[in-house]
Structure formats: structure tokens, C-alpha cells
């Protein structure tokens, strides 16, 4: 689902709240990821070299856009990235860089020079860029009710223990080590289509004795796809 004005505003509020940290604390790619995560729009971290493929690919939550930039859009340069924040300098009028640039600094990013960290600047300093906008994760393609025992499904993104901890049936899920990548093949062993309690149970590959993940319908839609 496309980002709403409220969500975009939340992302930028969270991003501005990170001002004061150093570049050693948060480099530019971690800064963008942290801002979105704090606004409850989390995605698997990717650096500047892999962001376009990992986060704006077929199953990523961002999509490339052409035309007018909007609040909280991600601007991706060669070796740098940041957030489009055209009102930030107006809101944070006491910011030193905003004053120096007379509030004409719509890029909020983490800057390495002088270990400055999150601060405002002008896109032209980093050259040409591409623009990406949050659009949400692509649903898995088919609903739990259409899945069958024995079918193989794969994650849309890395499934970590931290992500599983927030699932409805987290206590019924086995340990996944460092995480399951988007090439992991999980075999369906059981499904439920009961109203209000749709879920699918998949076996974690290579586990002995066998371990499983129990995945609620909505969690499946946002995190998995059939192979």
C-alpha cells in the first residue's frame, strides 16, 4: 500500500530525531533504514550499492519514481543516500546548516565530513540521483486458503528471529539461526483456513529434529510467496 502523508510525516519526524548522532553512529544507509524502522515501516537493511536491487526490486517495499519528489522519498546517489525533507529546515529553524543555506536544504542525510552525522544539505553536492518511494511489500501472490500441503514457499525478505518474535504464533515457531533468506525453500506441512485463524505451518529446512514456523495469514502475505 502506498505511503500515506501521515506515514511520510512520521518517517521525517523520526529522521529529525536522529540529528545529533555522529556518522560513526549512523552512516547514510543505516540512517535511512533507522528512520523508516522507527516509523514502523521496517525493511531489511541494504547499503547504497544494494538498495535498488534489494529494496526496490520485484518484492521490495520501495518503487522507483519519476517526477515530483515527495516527503520521505529516498534519494539514492552513487555512494550516498538520504531523505527528501523539504520542510525540515523550516521546522528546525535553529539548525546551523539550515541557517547557512537559508533554509534551502531539502536533503536530510547522514554526512561523513567531520563525522557530522544526520544533517540537512543540498542534493547537488552528491551529483545525480534516483528517487524511491515506499509502496509496501508485495503480497505473496496467493492467500493461505489457496495453499496446499507439500507446496514450497519462499521468503520475500530475510526472516530473522527478531521479526518472528512479533508474529501472532511466535511461541510455536522454531529457531531460525541467523535468519532465512529469500532463496530458502520451506515445505508446507499443515494449513488452517478457519475464519480469524488462518495460518500455514512450514518446515525449516535442514533442521533435525524437524523445526517449524507457524505463520498467520497476514504475516504470510507480507513475508512469503509460493515458489
The single-letter DSSP state of residue 7 is: H
119-171 confidence digits (pLDDT tens): 999 999 999 999 999 998 766 556 788 889 999 999 988 899 988 998 999 99
Report yes or no: 216 and 176 within 8 Å, Cβ to Cβ. Answer: no
Nearest-angstrom CA–CA distance, 140 and 137: 9
Please report the pLDDT score of residue 218 as a whole number: 78
Please report the pLDDT score of residue 24 as a whole number: 97
165-209 confidence digits (pLDDT tens): 989 999 999 999 999 998 999 999 999 988 778 899 999 998 889
Report yes or no: 123 and 75 within 8 Å, Cβ to Cβ. Answer: yes
Nearest-angstrom CA–CA distance, 72 and 85: 6
At 19, give phi and psi (nearest 5°): -60, 130
Nearest-angstrom CA–CA distance, 84 and 23: 19
Please report the pLDDT score of residue 93 as a whole number: 76
Q: Does 3.65.10.10 match the CATH number of domain 5-134?
A: no
User: How distant, in Å, are the alpha carbons of 48, 98, 99 from that of 91?
Assistant: 28, 10, 12
Antiparallel, parallel or unpaired: β 74-77 and 197-203 = unpaired
Please report the pLDDT score of residue 67 as a whole number: 87
Fold exhibited by the domain 144-226: SH3 type barrels. (2.30.30)
Q: What is the mean pLDDT of residues 65-94?
A: 94
Residues in the chain: 227
Nearest-angstrom CA–CA distance, 166 and 66: 35
- 3-class DSSP state of 129: coil
The domain ranges of the chain are: 5-134, 144-226
Q: Do domains 5-134 and 144-226 have the same CATH topology?
A: no
Please report the pLDDT score of residue 173 as a whole number: 96
23-40 confidence digits (pLDDT tens): 999 999 999 999 998 998
**Could you tell me which of 197, 203, 202 has the C-alpha nearest to residue 217?**
197
Nearest-angstrom CA–CA distance, 103 and 86: 9
Q: What is the mean pLDDT of residues 10-35?
A: 97
Cut 0.85: pTM above it = no
**In this structure, is the dihedral angle defined by the CA atoms of residues 31, 34, 39 and 42, taken in order, positive or negative?**
positive
Amino acid at each position: 500500500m502506498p505511503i500515506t502523508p501521515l506515514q511520510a510525516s512520521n518517517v521525517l519526524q523520526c529522521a529529525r530525531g536522529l540529528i545529533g548522532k555522529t556518522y560513526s553512529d549512523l552512516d547514510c544507509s543505516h540512517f535511512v533504514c533507522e528512520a523508516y524502522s522507527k516509523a514502523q515501516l521496517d525493511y531489511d537493511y541494504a547499503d547504497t550499492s544494494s538498495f535498488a536491487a534489494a529494496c526496490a526490486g520485484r518484492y521490495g517495499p520501495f518503487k522507483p519514481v519519476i517526477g515530483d519528489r515527495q516527503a520521505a522519498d529516498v534519494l539514492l546517489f552513487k555512494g550516498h543516500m538520504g531523505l527528501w525533507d523539504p520542510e525540515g529546515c523550516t521546522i528546525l529553524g535553529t539548525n546551523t546548516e539550515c541557517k547557512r543555506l537559508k533554509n534551502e536544504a531539502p536533503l536530510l542525510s547522514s554526512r561523513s565530513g567531520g563525522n557530522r552525522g544526520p544533517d540537512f544539505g543540498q542534493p547537488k553536492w552528491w551529483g545525480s540521483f534516483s528517487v524511491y518511494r515506499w509502496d509496501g511489500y508485495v503480497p505473496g501472490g496467493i492467500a493461505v486458503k489457496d495453499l496446499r500441503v507439500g507446496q514450497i514457499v519462499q521468503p520475500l525478505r530475510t526472516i530473522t528471529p527478531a521479526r518472528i518474535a512479533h508474529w501472532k504464533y511466535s511461541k510455536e515457531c522454531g529457531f531460525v539461526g541467523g535468519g532465512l533468506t529469500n532463496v530458502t525453500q520451506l515445505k508446507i506441512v499443515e494449513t488452517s483456513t478457519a475464519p480469524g485463524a488462518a495460518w500455514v505451518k512450514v518446515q525449516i529446512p535442514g533442521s533435525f529434529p524437524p523445526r517449524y514456523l507457524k505463520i498467520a495469514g497476514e504475516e504470510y502475505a507480507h513475508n512469503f510467496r509460493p515458489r
